[in-house]
Each structure stands twice: as C-alpha cells, then as structure tokens.
Amino acid sequence: MMETIGLYNYWVVVVLMMTGFYIVVARDNLIKKVIGLNIFQTSVFLLFISAGKVDGGSAPILAEGIEIYSNPLPGVLILTAIVVGVATTAVALGLIVRINEAYGTIEEPEIHLEDVEA
Amino acid sequence: MIDNHLPILQVLIPLVAAVMCLLLRNRLIVTTLAIVVTWVTFAVSAALMSAVLRQGVISYELGGWAPPWGIEYRVDVLNAFVLVLVSGIGAVVATWSPSSISIELPRYERHYLFYCAYLLCLAGLLGITVTGDMFNVFVFLEISALSSYVLISLGQDRRALTAAYSYLVMGTLGATFILIGIGLLYIMTGTLNMADLAERLPEVLDTRTVIVAFGFLVVGVSLKMALFPLHLWLPNAYAYAPSAVTAFLAATATKVSVYLLLRFFFTVFGYEFAFDRMQLWIFLMPLALVGIVTASLVAIFQNNIKRMLAYSSVAQIGYMVLGISFASVNGLTGGIVHLFNHGLMKCALFLALGCIVYRCGAVHIDEMRGLGRTMPWTMAAFVGGGLSLIGVPMTVGFVSKWYLVVAALEQGLWPVAAVVLFSSLLAVVYIWRVVEVAYFEAPSAVEGEGTVREAPLSMLIPVWALVVAIFYFGITTELTAGIARQAAESLLKVAS
Amino acid sequence: MSPSTAVCVAVALPLIGALLVVSLRRWPNAREAASLITGGTLFGVVLSLLPEVQSGARPEAQLVEVMSGLWLAFRLEPLGMLFALVASGLWIVTTTYAIGYMRGHHEKDQTRFYACFAIAISAAMGVAMAANLLTLFVFYEILTLSTYPLVTHHRTENAMRAGRVYLGILIGTSVGFFLLATIWTWHLAGTLDFRPGGILVGRADNWTIGILLALFAFGTGKAALMPFHRWLPAAMVAPTPVSALLHAVAVVKAGVFTVMKIVVYIFGIDLLHDTGLSDWLMYVAAFTIIAASLVALTKDNLKARLAYSTISQLSYIVLGAALATSAGVLGGSMHIAMHAFGKITLFFCAGAIYVAAHKTEISDMNGIGRTMPITMMAFFVGSLSVIGLPPFGGSWSKWFLVLGALEAEKAIFIAVLIISSLLNVAYLMPVVARAFFVAAPETGPSGAATHQGHEVRAKDGSSINEAPGFCLVALCVTAAGCLALFFFADTLYQLLTPIVNVNP
C-alpha cells in the first residue's frame, strides 16, 4: 500500500497522459487538440524527470561534502524534449493560422464539411 | 582524415546546408547549393557503404566521448544500406525538383525556405539511420517529422494544410510513444546506447516495465511507418503535398521507420525476445496481410492517381512488415530488399506523376487521357514503375516478392504466399486502369493553351535514371539482395 | 560463331531488329526489309544450331545471376530446338504475309506492329532456349507483355476489353499459379534447372507433386487449358497476322512447349508414369479437346472457329505430355510443328479472305473458291493437316499420340482422338465445301461474285480476286510446309527421341 502511494509520481504521469490523449481524440477544436498534445508530452517529461531523482540525492551539481547526486541525464533529455515540444506547438499553431485563413474555421467537423462540399 | 568522420558528416553536411539556405536568399544559389549538397551526401553514404562492406561495423564517437555515456554513431550493413537509399533519393528528387516547384510553389522568393526544410528533413532521416543512441533517434525523428509537416503543408490544395495538421497530431503521438518506450528502457537499464542496451536488457526482460516499453515502441513505430490500421495520415499527406515532397517522403520516411522496427526489435531487444517470447509476429503478420489486401483494394477505386499510389504505398509497407514478421533469413532479406526496391519504384512513379502535374496541372484520372501519346516518355516511365509494382520479372518488385514467397513456403504458410501473389494481381488492376486511360483514350482538350507537351529534360532524366535502376537492380541483385541478406544474417546473428 | 554465342544471338537479334524497325519508321519499305532480313538471319542462326543439337550437344550460355543460385541462362535441347525452328522460320513467312495484309488493309501504327512482333519473337526464342524455370518465366512474361500492344492494335473499345481479358487471364494464371509453383519447386528441389529425368524425384510426397502439376498446368495460361482458354477467342480482335503467328504459333506454342518441357524436365516422364499423377490432366486435356471442337462447330465467324480449333489442338499436345509415355511425348512434341504449319495456313487464308473479299462469316463465303482458288486450296491443305490425314504432317503426330495412348494403356483417349478428328472434319470441311461446291451469292451477268452489289473484277479482267501477292506467297509456303513435314517427320522424330531416352 505504502509502495503504491510512494509511486505517486507515476500516477500523476498516468493521469496527465490519459488526460492529454483524451483531449487530442475527443476535442474538435484544433487548438484544443494542440493543448492536449502538450499535456500528453508534459506527462512524459515528468516520467523521465521524476525517475531521475535518487533517494536522498541532491541536485546534480558538484559540491563539497555531497555524496549522492540525482541523475542529471534525464534532465538533459527532457530539455531537448521540451524544445522539441515547443517547436511542434509552433508548427501546429502556424498550421492552424493558415487553416483558419483557408477555411474560416478551426473546428474539425466544419472543416470536414467544407471539404466534402467542395 | 575525412574517412574517419564520415558518419557525422553524413548528418552535418545537409544540416549546415539547410542553415545556409536560410541565410542565402537567392533562389538560384539556394537551388544549386541544395543539389550539390544532396549529391555530396550521397557520396558520403556510398563511401560509408563500401567501408562497412570492407571492414565491418563502423563505430564513431561524437565529440570523442566514449559510449555508453557519449553518443555513438554506429554503421553496420543494414543502416549503410538505408543511408544509401535515403541520400540517393534525396539527391535525385532535389535534382528533379526545381522545375516542379516553380509551378507548384508560386512564390519564388520563398523557395529558399523550401530547400531549407527539405535539407532539414534529409538530415533528420539520415540522422535516425546513422545513430546508435536511442534518444538521438528521437531527436532526429522529430527533426525530420517537423520539417516534413512543413513540407507537406506547402501543397497547392488547401487540404494540404489539414493533411499536415493531422499528420502532425498522429506523428507526434507516435514519436511520444517512442519516447515513452525509450524512457522506460532507460529507467530499467540506465543506458541509452543501443549496443549497450542489447547487453543489459536480457537481465530485466521479465519485468513489466520492459514489456510495456516494448508495447509502446511497437505502437509508436507502427504509427510512423503507416502499418494498417495506423496508416490514416498517409493518403491525404501524400496526395496533397507538392510532388517533389511526396516523391521524397514516400520513398524515405516510412522506410526509415521500418528500419527503426528492425533496429529496435532485432538489435536492441533481440529477436528471441521479440518473436519467440512476445510473439510479435502475431501482431505484425495479420496486420501486414490485411493492410496489403485492403489498401490494394481501396487503391483500385481512387480517381486521384496520387492518392491511389499512396494507398499502394500502404500495401507495400505491408509487404515489408510481412517479410520482417517471418523472422527468418529469407523473410528479412525480402523485407529489407523491398525497403530499397519500393523506395526506387515509388519515387519513380511519383516523379513521373510530378511531370504530369507540371504539364497538366492535376493528376485526376480524367487528366491522364491520351497521355501515352502526348507525354510518351513520362508515361513509359510510369509503366516501368507500374510493372515493378506488379512484380514482373526483371524488375525490382519481382525480387522482393520472390524472397517473400520463399520465406512463406519455408514456414509452411502457403496461404500467405498465395496472398502475396494474388495481391500482385490487384496491383495489375489499378496500374492497368491508368495505362488504359493514357494509351487508349484520346487526349482531353485543354482549355486555352494548346496541347500538352512532354516534360522537360531536366525532369525526365532523374525519372529515367530511377527507371533504369529499377530494371538494373531487378536483373543483377548482387548489390541489393546480396547486401540485404548480409544485413538479415547479422540481425538474426546467424554465423555467416 | 560458337554455339553458345549463337544461342545468345538468337535471343538478341530480334530485339536489334525491333530497334531497326523503330529507327526506320519513316521509310516503310526499308522498315519491312529490316524485319525480313532480321527474320532471315535469325532463322539462319537457329538453323546453324540444329546440327549441334542433333549430334547430342547442348549449347549453353549463362547470362547473369539474378539472385543467389538463380541464373538467367540458356540451354538448347531438342524440344527447344524444334520450337525455335518453327517460330523463327514462320516469322519470316508471317512478316511477308503481314506486309501484304497491313498494306492491303491500310492499317495504322505499322511501326509499332512490326517492332512489337520482333520483341515477341525474341521472347519466344528466350522461352525456347531457357535453361531453367526462372529464365522461362521471365521470357514468358515478356511474351505476354509484348503481345499486348499487338492484340489491342486497333485501340478500339473492343480491343481494350479484349486486351483486359488477355492480360487478365495470362498474368493472373502466370503470377497466381505458375510463379507459386516455380518458387515452391525451388524450395523443394533447391534448383530450377531443366534436367533429363526431372528434379523432383524423391523431393516431395505425391500430394505435393500433384498440386504442383496442377499449378503448372493451369498456370500456363498460354496453353489454353479449359477453363483458362477465354483469352484466345478474345485475342482474335487483333489483325490476322497477329492471330496467325502469335496465336497459332508463338504464344500458344510457347504455352504448350512450357507444359511439355516441365513434364519432361522438371517432373520427369518416369515419375509421372509410375505414380499416375498426371491422369487427371489427361482427362482435362481430353475434355478441352472435345469441348473446344464442339464450340468451334457453332461459330460462324471464321477466325473464332479457328480460335476454338486451336484450343482443341493445343490440348492434343497437353494430352501427349500427360500420357507420360515416349510415344505420347513425341507425338505431342511433333504436333507443335505440325499444328503450327497447319493452323498458320488456315489463319493466313482467313485473313486473305478478309482483305480481298471483306468477309468474316463462313455463311458469306459461298463460292469464294472461284474467286480465290489459291487461297482456298491452301485452306484445304491446311485443313487436311489439322484433321490428320496423310500425306500431310498432322497425320504423323496423331499417329504417335494414338501410340502413346496405347502405351499408357488408356484406350479411351484413342477414342477421344478419333472423335476429335471427326469433329475437325465437321467444322473445317464445310468451309472448303462452301467455297468450291456452292454457288456464289448475287452473281452479276458475267458470273463473277459481286461485292455489295458492285461487280468486282480484277485488273486483267478475269473474275479472280485473290489476296495481295505477299499474302499469297506466304500461305502457299506454309501449305507446302504441311506437305513437306509429312516427309520430314523422321528428321523430327530423330531429333526428338533423346528427350524420352533418359537412361544412357
């Protein structure tokens, strides 16, 4: 029981991941989908980072008298992943702006209707 | 001295050139730079291939940092083969593209952005292939993916935008799944280096974490490679993108994802775990077979020829995955050689279609009337590629099918062999539809400008170079099937 | 030149001819001359290989290793020698005929016609000389693809539909059945070479061999075994020279040649005879023989009737192969030559009638023997050969087939052969009878046959309106060939005997 609660970071990850995934799938507004994608990606970031924390370890900066450090590598990886996420969001938003110009709407059903009618 | 740095140069050259394209705005300079750079990149791949064939696996440490803490670029026969394909296609399409994009991307002053994105995509795909580090794979995966979303959105039809957007959503989901898988593996083993993972994973193979990681990786890769039913992004993306983009992506992007499948499940996890314990073939084989049949059937009913070929691509990916799912030397040889062969075929077909777009403006089946007479060389190239899709002997398509059927018969799966052969007959139907319209019907009247002419030489030569390659590698398969077999044997760790 | 070079030249030469034809397209006479010269040279090259093969040598050439262990290679043996001689010899004759026909008919796209013809002949040579199943399959497919433009020559809606049936059946059977059987054989035997005595002995159980035989037999769509025969009547939409050479000689003979070669060199006659695994094929062939003859009886269109006759005659050869006895195989093989000459004569005549008198239906052909005596005499000669009466070649092949049935102790097939000969009489003789013994319709005051109400007179005032000269020469040559083959049958027999005597 205590172990399950001790793994609370992973539970947060799971909740966020499913929330994000649900938003991507269930919401028709293009921007909301992007938001869902962001939440999904954030959950992955948390997965990596929280896994890097070592029990009793301090921040991974060399200092006198400190024996145990947390793992710095996940942090590095996630920095990269955050940048990737930002770039993805930027491209997605750019696309949405252009879609809005072309279709006049950013709701998926309406876009679909426009294409079917065309 | 350059020889030692070939692996990093493979990625660095197009990457730097992409930035230079961004800075040099002049259209002529940028176009020339792109063409020169892509051919230099191809030369690097060829050099890597010959080096690997001579001396075995090449290992390169980035920045001199030794693996498993440093990032390692690791080139063996399999990824050298894929590198040659990707860079070769990149070079051919870049050479072909100037006339095409002058028609399809009307704002000339923005062409430098096109080439910047193109070179970024090329660099990304090459990076995925050449690296030996899992996270590096993710980074380059996203580089290539983002630039391909941009490239696809440049299509003239406004549906290119929505196609790019839905590809973005699905592609990001796929890449994130792969990232989750990588993360879980890292958590269990503490390393990101593929070779190192292969050594450390056997101890932890029974844990739930690793099995879940396996699952995430399978789904993520399947999404990126458009395995049925995760292929929904592909038809629209290929149909509405500019012709040069479609030709490039169709021949490379999904192939690199198939390479990832091989790398993850044969090198990192090891085929005993993936196929004997996790029974991956139960997942891959039926989906591949269903994909082959349904995609071919849907292709028959398409009136937009680009869309038809896009569905055909989904079917062909099915062949590759089918070959891999046999997990035998012949099966893997068939899958790997089809990776190369399909790249050649589809690029030739899409480039021929691009020539038609250049002259006629669209690729609806009605536009194709009488093209056999007005654009004889282009249609002949289309027929050549089509014959290869069908699997006529002396073309590359035949070689792939041969190995797949042999692999199926070896395992006693003669219904699978029958499906492979009968699906070729479906390909006959959709290819012959185009042939009949082009050769048997009178040319449709073009409003205004007069009759349609043959495509310019600058576009025909790259197309025909590919068609010649289709027949050449269908007649002497030493280079393609021979290398594929070597790769297959090394993946299955068969003593050769 | 050395025999192995000659073998390669034989396959390459018609391709060069095709290139010449295309480059000479602006000068029709030069273009036709190129075809004829290439044909003549090809026949010479093939003929030069005859003494080699007769003496027991087997000229070989290895071209390229396609996949590991699988070569594109040639190896000429007696059966292939026969087919090559027939195809190359009749190419010259057909080109002569085609010149008369295409010009007399003012056909379009003649360059494409002659060029595709040449490529098809090259493919036929490749089939004849193939050393293994892969090479055979490659050239077999090239034959299908190169004859497609010939079948759909007229580019009409009809032609397109016929082309679909043609391609659909031929590629469907070859990819779906034949290729599967080929790869399965490779898997079982580890080789695809044609070897005397076959390569499958001891490699698989009887069930597998039976299925393989079925896949190969039905996979060879060009042999027109029912129910995969529909492409032959569909292909009659092509111009007559196409029907004549390709569908009386090259394409269909490539089909039955393939069946014969596979029976002899992949399965081995002894294997099939001892296990009785080809019995069902005998019955399928017999059914095709009778059924196709019956259908031929109902056809009023002459070319259609001849098409079904071809289907029937092809199954003679398949029957010979299925009987799996020496005489059966020899009879079937000889029939390749006999039927080729007989049928091509009949088709030449049909085309000549079309060009000269614009008639296609038999019921319109009353009295045509008066206006086209040479043509109809040739038709008569061809008919007798097909029926199998001496002194024409067809009698010898039938004789050996009957012997083969006796050797196999299957007397029922003797009955089949006799009945089909009677049916041949029934559908061929009426044409001759109508031509010579029935009065022509609507005769004008001079007694000459009228054409749509106008009197037709030849330039010199006589009432003969024969086919163009080139056509006449061709059909006389082939008719004479039918006669000559009767006397040369022994040469054929001596040439072919080695294929059934496996044990030295």
| Residue boundaries of the structural domains of chain A | 2-54+66-117
Q: Quote the CA–CA distance of B483 and B275 in Å, as a whole number.
A: 23
- DSSP for C237-260 reads GS-HHHHHHIIIIIHHHHHHHHHH
Confidence of residue B1 (pLDDT cuts 50, 70, 90): low
Considering only the beta carbons, identify the residue of A24, A37, A102 that sits closest to B161.
Answer: A102
Q: How many helices (H) and strands (E) does chain C have?
A: 20, 4
What's the gap in Å between the CA of B191 and the closest CA on chain A? 10
User: Between the CA of residue C87 and those of C92, C125, C147, C213, what are the distances in Å?
Assistant: 9, 8, 15, 26
- Residue C444 is predicted with a pLDDT of 45
CB contact (8 A) between residue A84 and residue B169: no
Beta carbons of B136 and B71 less than 8 angstroms apart = yes
Q: Quote the CA–CA distance of C86 and C99 in Å, as a whole number.
A: 20
Give the start-end residues of each E strand in C78-124.
none
Q: Quote the CA–CA distance of C339 and B329 in Å, as a whole number.
A: 48
Closest alpha carbon within chain A to B156: A102
The set of chains that have 3 or more CB pairs under 8 A with B is: A, C
- Residue A13 is predicted with a pLDDT of 93
B146 touches A: beta carbon within 8 Å: yes
The pLDDT tens digits for B241-277 are 999 999 999 999 999 999 999 999 999 998 888 888 8
Q: Quote the CA–CA distance of C490 and B406 in Å, as a whole number.
A: 44
Of B45, B56, B198, B191, the residue nearest B490 (C-alpha): B56
Residue C61 parent element (H or E): strand C60-67
Q: What is the DSSP pairing of strand C60-67 with strand C70-75?
A: antiparallel
Closest alpha carbon within chain C to B441: C155
CB contact (8 A) between residue B176 and residue A40: yes
- Burial status of residue C155 (CB atoms within 10 A of its CB: 0-12, 13-18, 19 or more): middle
Tokens at residue C172, please? 């469907």
Beta carbons of C328 and C320 less than 8 angstroms apart = yes
Task: Determine the residue among A16, A77, A80 to mutate to test chain B binding: the one whose Cβ has the most chain B Cβ atoms within 10 Å.
Answer: A77
Beta carbons of C70 and C111 less than 8 angstroms apart = no
Residues of chain B with pLDDT > 90: what percent? 63
- Residue A21 is predicted with a pLDDT of 93
HSE-up of residue A61 (Cα within 13 Å, Cβ side): 1
B392 touches A: beta carbon within 8 Å: no
The pLDDT tens digits for A48-58 are 988 888 888 88
- Residue C355 is predicted with a pLDDT of 82
Of C314, C161, C302, the residue nearest C228 (C-alpha): C314
The pLDDT tens digits for B51-62 are 999 988 888 888
Closest alpha carbon within chain A to B141: A84
Q: What is the DSSP pairing of strand B58-61 with strand B72-75?
A: antiparallel
For the domain made up of A2-54+66-117, give the CATH fold.
Answer: Helix Hairpins (1.10.287)
C132-141: string of b/e by CB count within 10 Å (b at 16+)?
Answer: bbbbbbbbbb
Q: Quote the CA–CA distance of A85 and C140 in Å, as a whole number.
A: 56
Q: Quote the CA–CA distance of C326 and A23 in Å, as a whole number.
A: 78
Cα dihedral value C148, C153, C159, C161, nearest 10: 20
User: Residue C132 pairs with which residues in a beta bridge?
Assistant: C193
Region B34-52 average pLDDT = 94
Task: Determine the residue among A23, A27, A82, A88 to mutate to test chain B binding: the one whose Cβ has the most chain B Cβ atoms within 10 Å.
Answer: A88
The set of chains that have 3 or more CB pairs under 8 A with C is: B
Q: Determine the distance from the C-alpha atom of residue C218 to the mean position of all C-alpha atoms in its chain, rounded to a whole number.
A: 18
- The residue ranges of every structural domain in chain B are 279-496
Report yes or no on chains A and C touching (3+ CB pairs under 8 A).
no
User: Residue C75 pairs with which residues in a beta bridge?
Assistant: C60
Beta carbons of B386 and B455 less than 8 angstroms apart = no
Q: What is the mean pLDDT of chain B?
A: 90
- Residue A118 is predicted with a pLDDT of 60
**ipTM of the assembly?**
0.93
CB contact (8 A) between residue A103 and residue B158: yes
Task: Determine the residue among B65, B161, B177, B180 to mutate to test chain A binding: the one whose Cβ has the most chain A Cβ atoms within 10 Å.
Answer: B161
Chain C, 96 to 135: residues with Cβ < 8 Å from chain B are: 134
Cα maximum dimension of chain B: 72
- Residue C450 is predicted with a pLDDT of 43
- DSSP for C254-315 reads HHHHHHHHHIIIII-HHHHHHHTTTHHHHHHHHHHHHHHHHHHHH--BHHHHHHHHHHHHHH
Q: Is C26 helix (H, G, I), strand (E, B) or coil?
A: coil
Tokens at residue B230, please? 């995760």
Residue A23 parent element (H or E): helix A8-26
Beta carbons of C154 and C142 less than 8 angstroms apart = no
- Residue B288 is predicted with a pLDDT of 93
Who has greater pLDDT, A39 or B441? A39
Q: Quote the CA–CA distance of C48 and C131 in Å, as a whole number.
A: 19
Beta carbons of B45 and B87 less than 8 angstroms apart = yes
Tokens at residue C350, please? 């049909």
- Residue B19 is predicted with a pLDDT of 94
Tokens at residue C405, please? 């049935």
The pLDDT tens digits for C351-402 are 888 888 888 888 888 888 888 888 888 999 999 988 888 888 888 888 888 8
Beta carbons of B397 and B391 less than 8 angstroms apart = yes
Chain A, 30 to 89: residues with Cβ < 8 Å from chain B are: 30, 33, 37, 40-41, 44, 47-48, 51, 73-74, 77, 80-81, 84, 87-88
Q: Does position B338 have pLDDT exceeding 70, yes or no?
A: yes
B9 touches C: beta carbon within 8 Å: no
A106 touches B: beta carbon within 8 Å: no
Of C350, C339, C337, C346, the residue nearest C380 (C-alpha): C346
CB contact (8 A) between residue C168 and residue B399: no
Which stretches in chain C have pLDDT values below 70?
A: 441-464, 502-504
Beta carbons of B223 and B95 less than 8 angstroms apart = no
Confidence of residue B446 (pLDDT cuts 50, 70, 90): low
Task: Determine the residue among B392, B434, B473 to mutate to test chain C binding: the one whose Cβ has the most chain C Cβ atoms within 10 Å.
Answer: B392
Q: Quote the CA–CA distance of B326 and B332 in Å, as a whole number.
A: 7
- Residue C458 is predicted with a pLDDT of 45
Give the start-end residues of each E strand in B51-169.
58-61, 72-75
Count interface pairs A-B at CB distance under 8 A: 70
Q: Determine the distance from the C-alpha atom of residue C151 to the mean position of all C-alpha atoms in its chain, rounded to a whole number.
A: 15
Q: Which residue has the tokens 């002995």?
A: C201
- Burial status of residue C438 (CB atoms within 10 A of its CB: 0-12, 13-18, 19 or more): middle
Q: Does position B14 have pLDDT exceeding 90, yes or no?
A: yes
CB contact (8 A) between residue C168 and residue B428: yes
Considering only the beta carbons, identify the residue of C65, C137, C175 that sits closest to B424.
Answer: C175
Considering only the beta carbons, identify the residue of B394, B406, B440 that sits closest to C138.
Answer: B394
User: Between the CA of residue A38 and those of A34, A81, B184, what are the distances in Å?
Assistant: 6, 11, 20
Radius of gyration over every alpha carbon of chain C, rounded to an integer in angstroms = 22
Region A86-111 average pLDDT = 92
- Residue B309 is predicted with a pLDDT of 94
Closest alpha carbon within chain C to B479: C67
Considering only the beta carbons, identify the residue of C65, C145, C183 that sits closest to B409.
Answer: C183
- Residue B447 is predicted with a pLDDT of 47
- Residue B270 is predicted with a pLDDT of 86
